[in-house]
Chains A and B, each alone.
Chain A
Amino acid sequence: MRRYLSWLGRAATRVWLPIAVVAVWWVWSAHSKSLYFPPLSSILRTLWTQWVTGPARAQLASSLSHLLTGYVLAAVIGVGFGALLWSLRYVRDATSPYMYFLYVLPAPVLVPAVMTLFGIGFTMKVVIIAFASLWPTLLNTLDGMRGVDPVKLDTSRVLGMSRVRNVFSVVLPAALPQIVAGLRSSLQVAIILMVVSEWVASTDGIGYYIVNAQQSFDYLGMWSGIIVLAIIGIVANLLFVVVENRVLHWHYGARAVEGAR
């Protein structure tokens, strides 16, 4: 009972401000006659009729499929290539200048180039999302693996591990906290690029819907799209935290103990 109450207390600390903001927005906009700033109640009604029961569901599905495919690709390539670079010093030294060049290059400027190469369909968006969100995961994987405590590596040699087993049983788990941090920034980048790629050249997706609504003076539609994007961001982040807490429970446990000592 006591635990339940303290959980409730913590939850309340986190949600009171968002709830308050929504409430203020609701009351403040309730009698708005402005075309650009419609009442929140109307926006939410549009959200329901467009995104939950209406035609915009297709845009939502399309965006999410780009996001998911692009992000999973980025995660797999990022961790895999990061691990490869870690194990092959020669390749690492040879490629690191280009890697940092590509890393600092703002990904949106590549949209025209990728469009030229892949057209404006599914492939183009997935390539943009994957390319842009690859870097945080890749660099964090490389960095995390290079930073593994040498005593842990000595230990794996003493225990008789092969090179491959050492990578999977020791180096990857030891680098995991940092890899996960990379995956988290990759997720944010992926969501941004999902929208950007749909703005520039597209006939579907949430980004397209928002721009299209704005250009055809459908401000209710525009606001509802923005809210949908915010919800996607929140839900994606929540899912990420749930997975992270499961995978890294040992890391947070150990850190809490260290902090207490």
Chain B
Amino acid sequence: MTAPVVSLRQVCKVYGGARPRVALADITFDVARGEFLCVVGPSGAGKTTLLRCLAGLMPPTSGEAMFEGAPLRSVPAGIGVVFQDYGRSLYPWLTVARNVELPLKVRRVRRPERSSRVAEVLASVDLADAGRQYPWQLSGGMQQRVAIARALAYRPDLLLMDEPFASVDAQTRFELEDLILRVREEFGVTVVFVTHDIDESIYLADRVVVLSRSPGAVTEIVDITLPRPRDQIATKSDPAFAGYREHVLGRVMSR
């Protein structure tokens, strides 16, 4: 049994101000290496807050968030993040290739290796030919694939995704779900995926962490033992899938 990539111990987050608001209350769970973990909960459950704590973008008020054995104080080099709003997180003044290349430049990767890695990672998100275009020239789904490529370019150990497919249409969403499953195999990356969509969480995950409405607390952690590789039609029509959905939905709705 290897050490967990992420471990959260009694993490609480309270937003200050005149009327303090508890966003996260006593969150404890581990993420194992290579695991695909989904966090699902209604809006106001502190999902984004949890992800920001996991990314090291924001310190918890109390409790401890650890990444690979070390407490998270800033964003570690081994974490990639895909934000919900690709339009705001991609840099419109850079071409697709330069967006993807930027974290490699920051890490002082040499030029020949940079371009081969950019080509490789763009190919694995099916955007091999889009490098010279600007993000805003692409469709929403393609832009989010650029964001995924950028987060994977520096080969992080952990990929954090904050409702990444919430602003694309349903068809594109299914394609992106399959793409992320494939890419995760290819890069051997651990994934924490935040979503409000219960079907999506069950379809993708090895385990689903169910959060309750504010303050966000872990209601239950559900093991998903559906066979892999998963398939949009076969997996979702599996009676076991319906069982999970009913169960998770029940936990989300419960107060």
Residues of A at the B interface (CB closer than 8 Å) are: 149, 151-152, 154-155, 157-162, 165, 169-170, 173-174, 176, 250-251, 253-254, 257-258
A254→B92 contact, CB < 8 A = yes
A253→B83 contact, CB < 8 A = no
Kindly state the separation between the CA atoms of A9 and B151 in the bound complex, as whole angstroms. Answer: 46
A152→B89 contact, CB < 8 A = yes
Name the 8 nearest CB pairs between A and B, nearest first.
A151-B88, A254-B136, A159-B103, A158-B81, A173-B93, A250-B93, A155-B89, A254-B92
**Residues of B within 8 Å of A, CB-based: how many?**
25
Chain A residues near B74 (CB, 8 Å)? Answer: 157
Closest to B84 in A: A151
Chain A residues near B91 (CB, 8 Å)? Answer: 152, 155, 170, 173-174
Chain A residues near B5 (CB, 8 Å)? Answer: none
Kindly state the separation between the CA atoms of A151 and B83 in the bound complex, as whole angstroms. Answer: 8
Closest to A161 in B: B106
Chain B residues near A254 (CB, 8 Å)? Answer: 92, 134, 136
Kindly state the separation between the CA atoms of A202 and B87 in the bound complex, as whole angstroms. Answer: 54
The number of A-B residue pairs with CB atoms under 8 Å apart is: 61
Instruction: Tell me the minimal C-beta distance from A233 to chain B in angstroms.
Output: 30
**Most interface-central of B74, B83, B91, B154 (chain A CB within 10 A):** B91
B136→A253 contact, CB < 8 A = yes
Partner of B79, one of A151, A155, A158, A162: A158
Kindly state the separation between the CA atoms of A174 and B136 in the bound complex, as whole angstroms. Answer: 15
Partner of B57, one of A157, A162, A253: A157
Kindly state the separation between the CA atoms of A158 and B150 in the bound complex, as whole angstroms. Answer: 11
Chain A residues near B151 (CB, 8 Å)? Answer: 158
Kindly state the separation between the CA atoms of A157 and B137 in the bound complex, as whole angstroms. Answer: 25
Closest to B106 in A: A160
B107→A160 contact, CB < 8 A = yes
Kindly state the separation between the CA atoms of A211 and B15 in the bound complex, as whole angstroms. Answer: 65
Kindly state the separation between the CA atoms of A56 and B77 in the bound complex, as whole angstroms. Answer: 64
Instruction: Tell me the minimal C-beta distance from B45 to chain A in angstroms.
Output: 20
Q: A158-B57, A160-B103, A250-B93 are in contact. List 11 more A-B contacts (CB 8 A).
A: A151-B85, A152-B88, A155-B81, A158-B55, A159-B106, A160-B75, A160-B77, A169-B102, A170-B91, A176-B93, A250-B136
A251→B77 contact, CB < 8 A = no
Kindly state the separation between the CA atoms of A151 and B87 in the bound complex, as whole angstroms. Answer: 10
Kindly state the separation between the CA atoms of A131 and B150 in the bound complex, as whole angstroms. Answer: 44
Chain A residues near B134 (CB, 8 Å)? Answer: 250, 253-254
B137→A253 contact, CB < 8 A = yes
Instruction: Tell me the minimal C-beta distance from B109 to chain A in angstroms.
Output: 12
**Most interface-central of A149, A157, A159, A174 (chain B CB within 10 A):** A159
Kindly state the separation between the CA atoms of A24 and B135 in the bound complex, as whole angstroms. Answer: 49
Instruction: Tell me the minimal C-beta distance from B89 to chain A in angstroms.
Output: 5
Closest to B140 in A: A261
B59 at the interface (CB under 8 A from A): no
Chain A residues near B216 (CB, 8 Å)? Answer: none
Chain B residues near A161 (CB, 8 Å)? Answer: 106
A154→B93 contact, CB < 8 A = no
A165→B106 contact, CB < 8 A = yes
**Most interface-central of A162, A174, A257, A258 (chain B CB within 10 A):** A257
A257→B136 contact, CB < 8 A = yes
Pull 7 A–B residue pairs with CB atoms less than 8 Å apart, ordered by A: A149-B88, A152-B89, A154-B81, A162-B106, A170-B91, A173-B93, A250-B93
Closest to B88 in A: A151
Chain B residues near A149 (CB, 8 Å)? Answer: 88
Instruction: Tell me the minimal C-beta distance from A171 to chain B in angstroms.
Output: 11
A155→B83 contact, CB < 8 A = yes
A158→B93 contact, CB < 8 A = no
Chain B residues near A174 (CB, 8 Å)? Answer: 91, 93
Chain B residues near A250 (CB, 8 Å)? Answer: 92-93, 134, 136
Kindly state the separation between the CA atoms of A250 and B166 in the bound complex, as whole angstroms. Answer: 26
Kindly state the separation between the CA atoms of A41 and B106 in the bound complex, as whole angstroms. Answer: 63
One digit per residue, 1 when the CB lies within 8 angstroms of any chain A CB and 0 when it does not, for chain B 139-177 equals: 000000000001100100000000000000000000000
Instruction: Tell me the minimal C-beta distance from A166 to chain B in angstroms.
Output: 10
Kindly state the separation between the CA atoms of A102 and B123 in the bound complex, as whole angstroms. Answer: 55
B46 at the interface (CB under 8 A from A): no
Closest to A155 in B: B89
Closest to A176 in B: B93
Kindly state the separation between the CA atoms of A251 and B135 in the bound complex, as whole angstroms. Answer: 12
Instruction: Tell me the minimal C-beta distance from B197 to chain A in angstroms.
Output: 21
